Amino acid sequence: MSTQQPAMQIPAQLVKELRERTNAGFSDCRAALVEAGGDIEKAISVLRKKGQAAAAKKAQREASEGLVGNYIHAGGKIGVLVELNCESDFVARTEAFQQLSHDIAMHIAALDPRYVRREEVTPEMLEKERDIYKAQALATGKPEPVVEKIVNGKMEKFYEENCLYEQHYIKDESVTIGEMIAQAVIKLGENISIRRFVRFKVGEVSGGAAGPETAPVPVLA
């Protein structure tokens, strides 16, 4: 006698809600909900993990196509150009890809990241930040092991605040820009990456990235 359990029945409305929140396909959303026992928040986590895995597999593929997205903030005081890459011109011309580039440009206008990824932060900048955080922690009188944990935590916060991929999306703080890219990889089926950006603000030089203490934002050629 078979002991196999029947497949869990997932309401169509729940699948629809998950699709609206994640932009994932119907079958992927349904499978994630089954895996999560019908819990939509857990299903979102499942989709994110799968998205990150899919993005990692595709990350080795060349992404030489794409477009330059743009956003001008109300009043014309802030403007952003961002180069978003994919593998084919076909994907670059899709509405979803163009909307992604616009959303990322808008996010950059709002949160003013200094780097695309954490790997771009210079050793000099990292050393400077770490020294500041360590001095602050030591001033509290805490022992060295605790100080090191505090410093590591502050460095992660530094990445989150200054690196585009690690910032939380301005319109949905439950997801990072990196996770948005991973979701787009699942939806569009190609390697997608942000290559560079520049943010201009009236009255600032070089998009606000000038000065000896600020690493320059990659400038679009």
**Ramachandran quadrant class, 72 (left: phi over 0; alpha: psi -120 to 50; beta: rest):** beta
| Confidence label for 218 from pLDDT (cuts 50, 70 and 90) | very low
* Shared-domain flag, residues 105 and 168: yes
Q: What are the CA-CA distances from residue 86 to residues 37, 67, 200, 213 (Å)? A: 34, 9, 25, 33
* Shared-domain flag, residues 114 and 44: no
Last residue of one domain, picked from the residues 14, 41, 58: 58
Phi, psi of 27 (to 5 degrees): -65, -40
CA-wise closest residue to 187 among 18, 24, 17 = 24
* Shared-domain flag, residues 75 and 167: yes
User: With pLDDT > 90 as the criterion, what percentage of the chain qualifies?
Assistant: 45
The angle, 0 to 180 degrees and rounded to 10, between the axes of the packed helices 40-58 and 177-188 is 80
> Picking from 98-102, 109-113, 131-135, 185-189, which range would have the lowest pLDDT averaged per residue?
185-189
CATH number of the domain encompassing residue 9: 1.10.8.10
* Shared-domain flag, residues 43 and 132: no
* Shared-domain flag, residues 18 and 127: no
Query: According to the model, what pLDDT value does residue 92 have?
Result: 93
d(CA 200, CA 212): 18
Residue 134, domain extent:
123-157
Report residue 84 as tokens.
């978003």
* Shared-domain flag, residues 75 and 115: yes
Query: Can you tell me the mean pLDDT for 155-159?
Result: 93
* Shared-domain flag, residues 168 and 215: yes
| Confidence label for 205 from pLDDT (cuts 50, 70 and 90) | low
How does pLDDT run across 21-60, given as a tens digit for each residue? Answer: 776 777 778 888 888 888 888 888 887 777 665 655 555 5
